[in-house]
Chain A
Amino acid sequence: MKYLLLKHYRGGPTPTVDFPPMDRWRPEEVDAHIQFMRDFAVGLRESGEYVDGQALAPDGAFVRFDGEGRPPVVDGPFAETKDLIAGWMIIDVESWDRAVELAGRLSAAPGPGGEPIYEWLEVRPFLKKTPPLGE
């Protein structure tokens, strides 16, 4: 079963611990955090559960159709209050429980002082294809 693990720059439930932005951490804390993320992805590749992972730039905009012959409406750059996705990882795992276990582990990435950052991650199941025998 495939699940999307969504990481947010902003939005989601209130942070458990309010950390300063990463550029204010100590260099060794930054290194440890980035290394943790790399190791996590490597572990998923080795266990055969990794599908894809991408990071998104913080800029961008909302865009919509505004009628025939008119240019699309662009709302952005994003206002400070809006939910903002930072990136995702797609995993292919046995069960919802396994997806939750992995997201919990990823959320324990180290921050200042080597303490877990307790970051909220959004876990979303993919809709499946209709199986041939499932009609």
Chain B
Amino acid sequence: MNDALLRELVPAVIGVLVRRGADFASAEDAVQEALVRALAAWPDAPPRDPKGWLVTAAWHRFVDDARSQSARRVREEVVHAEPAPGPVPDADDTLALYFLCAHPALSAQAAVALTLRAVGGLTTAQIASAYLVPEPTMAQRISRAKRRLAGESLDQPGDLATVLRVLYLVFNEGYGGDVDLAVEAIRITRQLAALTDEPEVAGLLALMLLHHARRASRTAPDGRLVPLDRQDRTRWDTRLIAEGVAILQAALARDRLGEYQAQAAIAALHADARSAAETDWVQIVEWYDELVRLTDSPIVRLNRAVAVGEADGPQAGLALLADLDPDLPRFAAVAAHLRERAGELERAAQLYADAARAAASAAERDHLIREAARVRQVLRRPSAGDPA
């Protein structure tokens, strides 16, 4: 049994403990303890019934904790309530766990940590390493989140939008430490998609798969970012693309469009183009129109300006920038790209340099400095600006 299969058991085991009368916070702690023990013990002695092993280990842990807190009443209740390993909790229990961990009362940071642990089955150490914080800090973040949720029960209706937002954030965090958060986000979203047929869940899963398919081509061996139009498309994962497209098509057929489906549709159109030049920018602009309608987000408008610049020419894209706030993240980078396409190289080089100063990551900063240097190199050539 590999670690991924073990992790998938975690939400169901928490569900069993809660059904037997444990409160969510204690059940989650007990299952985490059992998980850490399982990770240490199973490679040498894998149990025949992994889930039964986890339930038993977690339940004993829970009872021990309850006893050691000398909560006599609780102990009597839970011991009395202990049934034979009763019916397997149904899908609704696990779905309820997603809702609770992404509860709107939690900050995004707390919801992410709790979701990765209780739904994703990651250990505190793994989550801490992925987010580059000390393990005690992450442990504290998770217990505070659970305290915040005291009094919330698993049978309250939840908000799917916050769940999707949390999974989107996890995916976007990407690779760090010894845990690949993009892979974990895909795994957890797959589990969610198996529990609900909401088209937006499928849309988010498709979006993740279509982006993940391009990952190998997004960074060069020396660590530099490779923009979409310069990626080696033969390195895209066609199996993931096919899966993403199929999931997206089934979702779109339900005729309940949402922002994740629209974003996935844009990713699918990129994936569909054999070369950057063959990209169907007109259709991409149409999907951006939908996204603007759905979200009214200035970031979406900024990205739409790029697409319009490709579909209708750089001047059309630049005209759209006039209505946007220059302080938006990546505004200077988009303006630089459009100016360069419009042939205003001096202006473009300066904007790339400005964009590098405003970059949010070192890789992006280095990329933008390289873009500025590349454009200035063209400007230095004797033929620069010469129409012949």
Which positions in A face B, CB cutoff 8 Å?
21-27, 29-31, 34-35, 38, 55, 57-59
Contacts and interface: CB of A to CB of B under 8 A. Distances in A.
Contacts of B102: none
Given A38-B222, A38-B223, A55-B362, A27 B374 contact: yes
A22 B369 contact: yes
B378 to A, nearest CB: 10
A53 B4 CA distance: 31
A30 B223 contact: no
A25 B357 contact: no
A24 B373 contact: yes
A29 B296 CA distance: 42
Given A34-B366, A55-B362, A58-B357, A22 B373 contact: yes
Interface stretch (B71-79, B226-234, B337-345, B348-356): B348-356
24 contacts: A22-B373, A23-B349, A23-B352, A23-B356, A23-B376, A24-B373, A24-B376, A26-B373, A27-B373, A27-B374, A27-B377, A30-B366, A30-B369, A30-B370, A31-B370, A34-B224, A34-B366, A35-B222, A55-B365, A57-B357, A57-B358, A57-B360, A58-B357, A59-B357
Given A34-B366, A58-B357, 6 more contacts: A23-B353, A27-B377, A30-B366, A38-B222, A55-B365, A57-B360
B264 interface: no
B123 to A, nearest CB: 23
B177 to A, nearest CB: 13
Nearest to A54: B362
A29 B365 CA distance: 16
Contacts of A27: 370, 373-374, 377
Contacts of B366: 30, 34
Contact of B353 (A21, A29, A31, A59): A21
Contacts of A22: 369, 373
Interface string B369-385: 11011101100000000
Interface residues of B, number: 21
Contacts, number: 41
A23 B223 contact: no
A78 B222 CA distance: 33
A84 to B, nearest CB: 12
B223 A26 contact: no
Nearest to A27: B373
Contacts of B358: 57, 59
Nearest to B372: A23
Contacts of A58: 357
Contacts of A25: 373
A30 B369 CA distance: 8
A62 to B, nearest CB: 19
Closest 8 CB pairs of A and B: A23-B372, A23-B353, A27-B373, A30-B373, A55-B362, A23-B369, A27-B374, A22-B369
A55 B364 CA distance: 12
Contacts of B370: 27, 30-31
Contact of A23 (B224, B360, B362, B373): B373
Nearest to B376: A24
Tell which of A23, A35, A38 has the most Cβ of chain B within 10 Å: A23
A107 to B, nearest CB: 19
A78 to B, nearest CB: 12
Interface string B167-199: 000000000000000000000000000000000
B334 to A, nearest CB: 17
A55 B356 CA distance: 13
Contacts of A21: 353
Nearest to B353: A23
Nearest to B222: A35
B204 to A, nearest CB: 30
B226 to A, nearest CB: 14
A58 B354 CA distance: 11
Nearest to B360: A57
Contacts of B365: 55
B205 to A, nearest CB: 33
A34 B365 CA distance: 11
Tell which of B349, B366, B376 has the most Cβ of chain A within 10 Å: B366
Contacts of A30: 366, 369-370, 373
Interface string B140-168: 00000000000000000000000000000
